Amino acid sequence: MLKTVAVIVVPNFSIFEFGTVYEIFGIDRGGRGGNVPTFDFRVCTPEPGHVRLKSGLSMEVGLGLEATADADLVIMVPYGRDEDVPEPVLDALRAADARGAWVMSICSAAFALARAGLLNGRRCTTHWHYSQELADRYPDVQVDENVLYVQDGNVISSAGTAAGIDACLHLVRVELGANVAASIARDMVVPPHRDGGQAQYIDRPMPTCGSAPMEELLRWMVQNLDREHTVADLAARVHMSARTFARRFRSETGATPAAWLNSQRVLRAQELLESTDLNIDEIARESGFGHPVLLRHHFAKVLDTSPQSYRRTFRGQLVEAG
């Protein structure tokens, strides 16, 4: 059972992500109902004393890495990912993994787990800003930028910032049950489980192409998403055969014309859900899907959530007082 939680901090660590971990495991909620246990919460560092934060503040940390030796969960919080992680920290992470303890990274702290070798052959995630860098630097790691968190065996990694809350609540559900996780979430005034994944938060600008005619065609397609587009018609616009066009399109965009169109239609639907009061039928027509069932299908496929949930997340719910 999850009882002892050790959080490793190193110089230049991020206070918000540390705070999310403390909120879940560091606060004594024993008297608030919901059968929430009191965790043995430890903060440790390679060299006890003043540890500077990314914000310029500092924290007095009295425990060394020996505090991780018997912990049920060892958490690495983000730091300046370009800085070297002290070898004793990597050893502590490896030792926790070797004895079967839970090991968790919040946001870009996945780089420390990767450097320790804990993510080799494993699936993980990190903030979408850093997902490609993580994949490039550690090719043996399977990076999924579209999710809020990943559990692969005893290792859990979370996406950016607040996704650490989702990862921690997931572990609480696994170890202590849904009722305990819901009680903690209720006390924090956060949802016990968020719909969708990190994909819905990623800013994806329209890609550019190496050739001016193809880039001009892409812009025209975006301006005419509500029209039907066959490969033959698109090829004719750039004076190519259908076969040559299909090959060139894929080489320059990384996708087939149909897949590229669907991704742009999802982007358009996102914009409409965020900025207009159009209903789902109208958004399906405006974005080029035509029918709500197609909109919902492609929205779930790309963003792992529904249009309604996406709108609630990014628009909020109107509350009428009185």
User: What's residue 209's pLDDT?
Assistant: 61
Confidence of residue 65 (pLDDT cuts 50, 70, 90): very high
| Average pLDDT score, the chain | 87
Q: Do 99 and 124 meet the contact criterion of CB atoms below 8 Å apart?
A: no
CB 181 within 8 A of CB 173: yes
What's the pLDDT at 154?
96
191-220 pLDDT per residue, tens = 776 655 555 554 555 555 667 788 889 889
Angle at 273 between CA 287 and CA 309, to 5 degrees: 115
d(C-alpha 171, C-alpha 174), whole Å: 5
Q: At 277, phi and psi to the nearest 5?
A: -105, 15
The CB-side HSE value for 316 (13 A sphere, CA atoms) comes to 3
Which amino acid makes up residue 137? R
- Report H helices in 144-207: 163-176, 178-188
321: pLDDT confidence band, cut at 50, 70 and 90? very low
| The most confident of 58-72, 79-93, 225-239, by mean pLDDT | 58-72
Closest CA to 67 of 99, 49, 45, 97: 45
The residue assigned the tokens 């979408």 is: 128
**What CA–CA distance (Å, rounded) separates 26 from 20?**
9
Catalogue all structural domains in the chain, each as residue range(s) with its CATH number.
Answer: 4-201 (3.40.50.880), 212-315 (1.10.10.60)
| pLDDT recorded at residue 35 | 83
CA dihedral 16, 17, 23, 26 (to 10 degrees): -120
Q: What is the pLDDT of residue 316?
A: 47
Contact 40, 1 (CB under 8 A): no
Q: Give yes or no for residue 273 having a pLDDT over 50.
A: yes
What confidence tens digit (pLDDT) does each residue in 141-193 have?
999 887 889 999 999 999 987 899 989 998 998 888 878 888 898 889 887 76
Cβ contacts of residue 302 below 8 Å, gap of 6+? 199, 262, 263, 266
Quick one: what percent of the chain has pLDDT higher than 70? Answer: 89
Lowest mean pLDDT among 24-28, 275-279, 309-313: 309-313
Q: 85 or 103: which carries more pLDDT confidence? A: 103
Q: What is the model's pTM?
A: 0.66
pLDDT at 322: 25
Confidence (pLDDT) at 199: 54
- Dihedral in degrees, nearest 10, Cα atoms 23, 29, 34, 40: 80
Average pLDDT over residues 313-321: 45
Q: What gap in Å lies between CA 196 and CA 194, rounded to an integer?
A: 6
**Listed residue (132, 227, 168, 164) closest to 36, CA to CA:** 168
* Residue 318, pLDDT score: 35
At 196 the pLDDT is 54
pLDDT bracket for residue 280 (50, 70, 90): very high
pLDDT at residue number 301: 85
Q: What's residue 210's pLDDT?
A: 60
The predicted model gives 110-135 an average pLDDT of 94
